[in-house]
Structure 1
């Protein structure tokens, strides 16, 4: 069995808990922990944020415990049966990068390529949703759209990180669907795009199902990106299309603000979004969006 593993936050018996997944089988994180571990964590964690707060320590602990256990396949659940929550319930920051794929810039069309990573913030407490959880189409929006994005999860508090060392502060990666209401970019007011109305409706941040540690995710700047609606492929690209790669994004944001463990950075979307199609295609109640980047699992979002 490979040493690679993925972490997820799931709902079991009405409570949130963390599980470790390997090759389709999941077991509670608590089964791998010792009493001293629980003391250090302040109890059984309800999401992965307590692990990220000391990721250098816990990544080594998990690697050794998982390698030593023989219980995968015995005391485990099939991953397909899990009720997923977002891997992190409440990150301190949820930062999104816009106009960051060459093919997406060409389809929209956006008149210029940004000269630095263009970013905006979303409210994580109300936007994040787990895989399989429905998202309501806003009653005041007619142009609901999808955006498959690679989410970068910070694992070390940092400021002014040079690009050459930026990947060292990344704990891992997850899928992120940056849902959008295009109504407020279709006709721009004189002062520009209203990013709150565009991006911040409840549930507009599906994320997961897994957190994949950097050691097992592969090159973040060369991951296949795939999204379908009702089984029909809409986005089929690669993170190699990014204008600014993960290291450049992390370095740039850390020059503005202190990045903290558990912060989530969504890195932009490739071509194929509904608003860029001719004619445009928008999400409707009854649609099911499925996206997958690399080995991060399949993020499923029903629209209701």
Structure 2
């Protein structure tokens, strides 16, 4: 079976879903032919069909394809219904953030769609925040409706995996009000969730709980861990969320970050204009953004 990844971007000026086969990029229409969906939302809305079809067609690709460096990337999914993030989900990160005891269940919050940013996109530092931090995370993309009362293996609801930088404005931790941390002020800014550039189908990820994860700022490694260090794995997170809300195709879940964030360092470190941040998850790819 030939492995492939899915993304969205511009090749020669036209925006379209893209397929990475080997190290070459192809428009989705080149793989599926006439009538191919024009966005990845449509692919994930009928994932059982397209997962099999793409695996079959990618094995027969003969066109030369394009260099990934020639793509102007967009976020893989432009308009997910939900962006859900999990916090305090790595043991060592809990310790560096003085987060207390192991949580009883995955601790979550939600982001607006405008928080999404693409691989290669410049991220504008907000004028109202001075403690902007990095967080490397494994992202999960949902491939079928899965909600309260649904049975079966929660991993069967996962279409694929991607790379996320869960950018955080720590100003609202350092000066938290009596009612607690303002998660919107910490996480809800424009462009605070760079995602991509690719979504790797779940069939090509043998074990989501055994992936190396690393983040570097200007080439200096700040975070280096493994998804095996999660407190709650992808299956636990998906099952927990689906007990509250119906997860839908194209929903994105960020699964938490390991130790090594700027806020947990001594002295603390935060992002400044000109910093280049790269996040790599083993087998999924590398997400790069410059902060301005």
Q: Same fold (TM over 0.5)?
A: yes
* Deviation for aligned residue 1:254: 0.2
* Deviation for aligned residue 1:141: 0.6
Residues 1:63 and 2:55 aligned together: yes
Q: TM-score, normalised by structure 2?
A: 0.97
Q: Distance in 1 between matches of 2:208 and 2:149?
A: 18
Report the 3-state secondary structure (helix = DSSP H, G, I; strand = E; otherwise coil) of the residue aligned with 2:153.
helix
Q: Distance in 1 between matches of 2:108 and 2:15?
A: 31
* Deviation for aligned residue 1:23: 2.3
Q: Distance in 1 between matches of 2:48 and 2:141?
A: 14
2:21 match: 22
Report the 3-state secondary structure (helix = DSSP H, G, I; strand = E; otherwise coil) of the residue aligned with 1:198.
helix
Residues 1:110 and 2:91 aligned together: no
1:32 match: 31
CA 62–8 in structure 1, closer or farther in 2 if over 3 Å, else same: same
2:87 match: 98
* Deviation for aligned residue 1:162: 7.2
2:71 match: 82
1:50 match: 42
Residues 1:253 and 2:241 aligned together: yes
User: Could you tell me whether the CA contact under 8 Å between 1:24 and 1:80 is conserved in 2?
Assistant: no
Residues 1:119 and 2:108 aligned together: yes
RMSD: 1.4
CA 163–148 in structure 1, closer or farther in 2 if over 3 Å, else same: farther
Q: Of 175, 194, 215, which residue of structure 1 is paired with 2:182?
A: 194
* Deviation for aligned residue 1:161: 6.6
User: Could you tell me whether the CA contact under 8 Å between 2:11 and 2:70 is conserved in 1?
Assistant: no
Deviation digits for residues 81-125 of structure 1 (CA, Å, limit 9, x no counterpart): 21111110010000000000011001112112211000000001x
Deviation digits for residues 157-191 of structure 1 (CA, Å, limit 9, x no counterpart): 01137786000010000001100000000121000
* Deviation for aligned residue 1:11: 2.1
Q: Of 186, 190, 195, which residue of structure 2 is paired with 1:207?
A: 195
**The 10-residue stretch of structure 1 (285-294 or 15-24) with the greater mean CA deviation from structure 2:** 15-24
1:154-165 counterparts in 2 under 5 A?
154-160=142-148, 165=153
* Deviation for aligned residue 1:32: 1.5
Q: Distance in 2 between matches of 1:164 and 1:239?
A: 23
2:8 match: 9
* Equivalent pairs, count: 292
Q: TM-score, normalised by structure 1?
A: 0.93
Q: Distance in 2 between matches of 1:80 and 1:5?
A: 17
Deviation digits for residues 38-63 of structure 1 (CA, Å, limit 9, x no counterpart): 1xx6xx41x31110000000011101
Q: Of 213, 216, 223, which residue of structure 2 is paired with 1:228?
A: 216
Extract unaligned runs of 5+ from structure 1.
Answer: none
Q: Distance in 1 between matches of 2:15 and 2:180?
A: 40
Report the 3-state secondary structure (helix = DSSP H, G, I; strand = E; otherwise coil) of the residue aligned with 2:42.
helix
Q: Distance in 2 between matches of 1:291 and 1:83?
A: 18
Q: Distance in 1 between matches of 2:269 and 2:174?
A: 13
CA 104–128 in structure 1, closer or farther in 2 if over 3 Å, else same: same
Q: Distance in 2 between matches of 1:85 and 1:91?
A: 13
Q: Distance in 2 between matches of 1:54 and 1:24?
A: 26
Extract unaligned runs of 5+ from structure 2.
Answer: none
